[in-house]
Chains A and B, each alone.
Chain A
Amino acid sequence: MADTAAVSHGEGTGTGLSNNKLLMWVFLGSECLLFGGLISTYLIYRSRFGDGPAPGDVFDIPFTSVSSFVLLMSSLTMVLALSALQRGDIRNNRVWLLATALLGSLFIGGQVYEFTTFVREGLTYSTSPFSSAFFTLTGFHGVHVSLGIVMLMSLLISSLRGTLTKERSETVEIVGLYWHFVDVVWIFIFTVIYLVPSPTS
């Protein structure tokens, strides 16, 4: 086999991508079907709210739009973090990694606030097929964002220990792939759940 040092940087591999990066791409392909299944379930159940609150009754679209904007901006900071490390700018890399993690946490905070508000308004997990599908879909997305935050914080710790150097920028790139994917999925979820006119009771 070719020299492995080259393989780990994607030279001499069949696809020109390193094994690690290709693994992440393949994994994200699989994730598409996970969210595909959950989004389909939501679409089937969005108007099946029974006696409980209808989607149109509870959604606060301006609020969710703001938190969506926050999440999308975190993709920008992620790009800046990678670009900083690729230039060898460790300090800015740390700043932007932290900013990305904070924006992600802000989004999760918004989701927690939204969930509690809905429960107070009488939309619990067991209220109707709509409520189960809504909480499951957005909850799965929230878990993905949270895992992304764990990865970002791990990168940050690694950087503070001095092991996240320019040569290792591909690691940041791979975490970035995951982070952007989670953002793109949110664009679909936001459109399907909030922007498409929702039924009201």
Chain B
Amino acid sequence: MSETMEIEAPARPIGVYTRPKGNTGWRDWITTVDHKKIGILYGATAMVFFAIGGLEALLIRLQLATPNGTVLGADTYNRVFTMHGVTMVFMVIMPLAAAFANYLLPLQIGARDVAFPRLNALSFWVFLAGGLFLNMAWIVGDAPDGGWFAYAPNTGMIFSPGKGMDYYALGLQIMGIASLMSAMNLIVTVLNMRAPGMTLFKMPVFTWMILVVQFLLLFAVPVITVALFLLLFDRNFGANFFNPEMGADPLLWQHLFWIFGHPEVYILILPSFGIISEVIPTFSRKPIFGYPFMVFSGIAIGFMGWGVWAHHMFVSGIGPISVAAFSVSTMFIAVPTGVKILNWLATMWGGKIRFNTPMLFASGVVSMFTIGGLSGVTHSLAPADTQQTDTYYIVAHFHYVIFGGALLGIFAGFYFWWPKCFGHLLGEKLGKWNFWLMLVGFNMTFGPMHILGLQGMSRRIDSYSPGFGFEFWNMFASVGAFVITLGVLMFVINIIASARKARHEPPVGPDPWDARSPEWFTPNPTPVHNFDEVIQISSLDEFWHRKYGEDEDGRVVRVATAEEVCQDGSATDTHLPSPSYWPLVLASGLPFVGFGLIYTLWFCVPGAVLIFMAIYGWIFEPVDDPDGPHGHGHHDDGDDHDDGPPEETSDEATAETAEEAPVG
């Protein structure tokens, strides 16, 4: 689709068009196109941002621990709570979900890699560029201060004259490109590359939920792209989208933001729903109860998530008919969510439950998310919501769903799939400390916020006067925040301690949890080529069904050991996609373009040069390095070069790229 140069397969590429070699050391990490390494990069980066966002949360709680707090000034407080929200939503939960999706999705569908490995690497580096760009606002001393939802006209030039909201708009725009590319890539992967026999309704629930999330991203990201462009044009090019003096509608931003923003909350929670739908059956030793209901309720949530956005705007004056309609639709969306909770409970019911750490975290999700879901239903009643809006009750609600739902689910995933990624288990003892400290700390911090909110304490205030009865619960919540911190520290210690311990111990077997889904066909840790041979899928929970059968009385009996069922990872003839420098180079150009739009357009020049260079490098580099680190045996040389060469359009919203199909 673009200028192409057919490079003869055996010809040695020259100079800058050489593909990076070797798969060791730091150079490997910055040039990798392996979905597993990219998944680990996503996870590690997100955990660093988690530390930053957590630090911001602790500052907030220090400021609010006592009346008339003086830890932060009002301006700094605004910046801190804004960046806390933006960081946790866009740089922690979303990339952690991307980490699991990247690592596990090809394994769960039995594929060699994602459909477009270089595009996948580009998604990660663009995400990192966006996250660093946004946090750069701290360094220039002008972090965004308009809340994570950035309501215009409050975030227009008149009320936010600094550069903070420009960093916000451009940073989210860059991360939006990353999400969009990743969504397109994973959709194609799931729809096109499933193992033989794996129909859509034999896919693991995790894969299903990730697929739903990618469709939500695909359709939600362009809406916030529009909103962010309008804000940027208003602030920098004199447009009048959000200026009421010129007759603009002050609600336009709210509508655009929440049309994106409500699907976004399902983007945050559904990956966790997927994770615990894998964990709960494994540790209850039962198949998931009502698999079709699990899948269809996930799809239903995906559809209905588009029809509830105005419940964020009940007090903004949208009129009684809109309020009534969105009130009803919001009540309805609780139904598919309730279906999921009942199905998890029914899965546990009568099972031989083992309460290992992943299961503890999964049960934490079921219980905590139920609380958050119920307080969510109270918002759907518009008269009650009118009282709750902008109070700490709302803060309590969304932390119960995002922390109690999404984050605890991600921790369940960490403990469950750690051996898959790193070949050893995380410690159970520290894991239990981690879980209980986080659970108790979480309830101490956010439970009392329901009370504070109903007592009338406003969100986003930087201090409160003594004598309103806010003192005790605020102090209590602040103590809870430090208990959470201890819990997270236990996790960090656990990572280090278990890695050290694993050096002196035999490797974990292929199947530490008696698991069910196809990713466990590969040995632990997953070899670079994933599967030795293509797996044939004949049922949901294929891995489990190969281990267990029925005797003549219909009782479940073990028919094979995990070692017999599992592949040994010894294949050497698998063709691997070659690494590439260009995703990193392309992504590094984007922040310069951002600086250019904020300060002086001259900064755009190096950015454009980098992007241009990267696009041409991308196009001209051979699809495979002849000396590249793929296996020794067969080469599908026939297909290496006949495929669409990468084409690039650096569109305002996306850079879509066609790339070689990976080889299995």
User: Which positions in A face B, CB cutoff 8 Å?
Assistant: 1-5, 7-8, 13-15, 17-20, 22-24, 26-27, 29-31, 33-34, 36-38, 41, 44-45, 48, 50, 125-129, 131-133, 136, 140, 143-144, 147, 150-151, 154-155, 157-158, 161, 163-164, 167-168, 170-172, 174-175
Contact = CB atoms under 8 A, between A and B. Distances in A.
Given A31-B653, A143-B652, A171-B645, 6 more contacts: A30-B180, A34-B226, A41-B256, A128-B246, A150-B649, A164-B4
B223 interface: yes
Contacts of A164: 4
Interface stretch (B161-169, B231-239, B492-500): B231-239
A158 B1 CA distance: 8
Q: For the complex of A and B, list the 8 residue pairs with the smallest distance between their C-beta atoms, beginning with the closest.
A: A1-B664, A37-B226, A154-B2, A34-B222, A126-B238, A132-B239, A5-B639, A13-B192
Contact of B661 (A7, A131, A151, A154): A7
B205 interface: no
B195 to A, nearest CB: 8
B642 interface: yes
Contact of B2 (A36, A44, A132, A151): A151
A49 to B, nearest CB: 8
A4 B227 contact: no
8 contacts: A5-B642, A19-B192, A19-B193, A23-B184, A27-B654, A125-B237, A129-B246, A154-B2
A136 B1 contact: no
Given A8-B661, A20-B643, A125 B239 contact: yes
Given A19-B115, A44-B249, A150-B649, A4 B239 contact: no
B252 interface: yes
A45 B247 CA distance: 9
B4 A161 contact: yes
Nearest to A155: B1
Nearest to B229: A136
Contacts of A155: 1-2
Given A8-B661, A155-B2, A171-B644, A34 B653 contact: yes
Contacts of A175: 1, 647
Contacts of A131: 240
A100 B237 CA distance: 33
A53 to B, nearest CB: 14
A29 B653 CA distance: 13
Contact of B656 (A18, A27, A157): A27
B235 to A, nearest CB: 12
Nearest to B660: A8
B218 A30 contact: yes
B240 A126 contact: yes
Given A48-B248, A132-B233, A158 B3 contact: yes
Contacts of A26: 183-184, 187-188, 218
Contacts of A20: 643-644, 658-659
Nearest to A33: B222
A22 B636 contact: no
Contacts of B639: 3-5, 7-8
Contacts of A22: 187-188, 191-192
Contacts of B643: 8, 20
A26 B190 CA distance: 12
B111 to A, nearest CB: 7
Contacts of B644: 8, 20, 168, 170-171, 174
Contact of B663 (A1, A17, A38, A140): A1
Interface string B205-240: 000000000000011111101110110011001111
A17 B115 CA distance: 13
A4 B188 contact: no
Interface string B528-544: 00000010000000000
A154 B188 contact: no
B85 to A, nearest CB: 23
B125 interface: no
A14 B111 CA distance: 12
B1 A154 contact: yes
Interface in B166-186: 180, 183-185
B25 interface: no
Contact of B241 (A1, A132, A147, A171): A132
Contact of A23 (B115, B190, B645): B115
A182 to B, nearest CB: 11
Nearest to B575: A4
Contacts of B662: 4
Contacts of B239: 125-126, 132, 136
Contacts of A45: 241, 248-249
A132 B240 CA distance: 6
B240 A129 contact: yes
A13 B193 contact: yes
B233 A136 contact: yes
Interface string B435-478: 00000000000000000000000000000000000000000000
A155 B3 CA distance: 6
A170 B6 CA distance: 16
Contacts of A174: 1, 644, 658
A154 to B, nearest CB: 4
Contacts of B238: 125-126
B642 A8 contact: yes
B432 interface: no
A170 B642 CA distance: 11
A118 B259 CA distance: 32
B652 to A, nearest CB: 6
A30 B230 contact: no
B1 A171 contact: yes
A38 B247 contact: no
